[in-house]
Amino acid sequence: MTKMNCSQEVLHAIQKNKPIVALESTIISHGLPFPENYDTAAALETQIREQGAVPATIAIINGQIKVGLEKEDLKILSDPASKVEKISRRDIPLILQTKGHGATTVAATMIIAAKMGIKVFATGGIGGVHQGAETSFDISADLQELVKTNVCVVCAGPKAILDLKLTMEYLETNGVPVIGYQTKELPAFWSRTSGIYGIQTFQTAKEIAAFIHIKWQFPLDGGVLVTNPISISEELPEKQVKHWIKEALQKTKSKNIIGKEITPFVLDYINTASQGKSVNSNISLVKNNAKLASEIAIEVYKKFKDV
């Protein structure tokens, strides 16, 4: 089996059965600009520790899978001058073979977290079914991973660059529960609202943990998606966001941007168009998610200890 290189902190947490929260690295290398990316990655880890859980940021450095990063690793991942590939499920073998640096998406992070027995993972937004997927077939590998891999992913909802309705249908067909934390309406990343309902509402991390425990001890394999709305003060106006997204998606067509380049391009476009406001919102919502994920992790570990 391929070796997973755990930091001392993560190794200790695994041995002592402490609550761990996984963090992805695509958000660092391809989701946020420098230097906010480095600061955010470090701040997320601090936040999780302050909540009483252990952070495990996951990435591939020089072809080595790392669970829990050193400062040096974070520097490599956040430096725009580094060559860091965006790694989803299909890209893992090649980056190990070429001994390159890889930033793991939600899908790849889930795979590695599950292999280490890490049950909870915090991120900003997940990939989903893209607008126009009926002809482009652009459906993020994140969704497939949620179908089969036993990790609870805490996010701020799929973002409006996706087709939210189709994303929800896909998850329903494939048996992935979608939970709304203190909301009946699916949050849509930069906005608290989407006009889409039909999610399972829970008020507390404890209830979410109880749900996860029942699912996995059944056992019913697969992930659980927890959606946590952005705070009211950081929300961006839905109309404005939709307008920027429309512009960005038109640009992807005229510039012939395809495949895994689409999401980073759109995020970057919206950052520029919003004069950095979207980045501030993005940072705030990931921190919010790290906090909730820590609370859930603590409760989930209690549940699984009881068994």
Q: Contact, 39 vs 47, CB < 8 A?
A: no
Decide whether 92 or 292 has the Cβ nearer to Mn ion: 92
> Which residue is at the shortest CB distance from ligand PSU?
31
C-alpha 182/C-alpha 201 separation (Å) is 6
Q: How far is the CB of 44 from ligand PSU (least distance, A)?
A: 13
Write down how long the chain is. 307
Decide whether 70 or 134 has the Cβ nearer to Mn ion: 134
- Residue 149 contact partner, candidates ligand PSU, Mn ion, none, CB within 5 to 8 A by sort of partner: none
- Residue 229 contact partner, candidates ligand PSU, Mn ion, none, CB within 5 to 8 A by sort of partner: none
Rg (CA), the chain: 18
Choosing from 24, 145, 234, 295, which is the catalytic residue? 24
Q: What angle do CA 15, 74, 189 make, to 5 degrees?
A: 90
Choosing from 159, 215, 260, 291, which is the catalytic residue? 159
Query: In the complex, which residues of this chain contact Mn ion (CB under 5 A)?
Result: 138
Question: Tokens representing 124?
Answer: 């900003």
Q: Contact, 146 vs 225, CB < 8 A?
A: yes
Decide whether 140 or 288 has the Cβ nearer to ligand PSU: 140
State how far the alpha carbon of 170 is from the alpha carbons of 165, 175, 228, in Å: 9, 9, 20
Decide whether 90 or 246 has the Cβ nearer to Mn ion: 90
Buried-exposed string 58-79: b where 16+ CB fall within 10 A, e elsewhere: bbbbeebbbbbbeeebbebbbb
- Give the type of residue at 120: V
Q: Is 3 a catalytic residue?
A: no
Q: How far is the CB of 2 from ligand PSU (least distance, A)?
A: 21
Longest CA–CA separation in the chain, Å: 56
Q: Contact, 289 vs 228, CB < 8 A?
A: yes
C-alpha 228/C-alpha 230 separation (Å) is 7
Q: Is 148 a catalytic residue?
A: no
Query: In the complex, which residues of this chain contact ligand PSU (CB under 6 A)?
Result: 24, 26-27, 30-31, 88, 105-106, 124-125, 127, 140-142, 159, 260, 263, 267
- Residue 133 contact partner, candidates Mn ion, ligand PSU, none, CB within 5 to 8 A by sort of partner: none
Q: Contact, 159 vs 231, CB < 8 A?
A: no
Q: How far is the CB of 123 from ligand PSU (least distance, A)?
A: 6
Q: Hey, is 85 helix, strand or coil?
A: strand
Q: How far is the CB of 281 from ligand PSU (least distance, A)?
A: 10
Q: How far is the CB of 12 from ligand PSU (least distance, A)?
A: 27
Decide whether 83 or 305 has the Cβ nearer to ligand PSU: 83
Q: Which residues are catalytic?
A: 24, 159
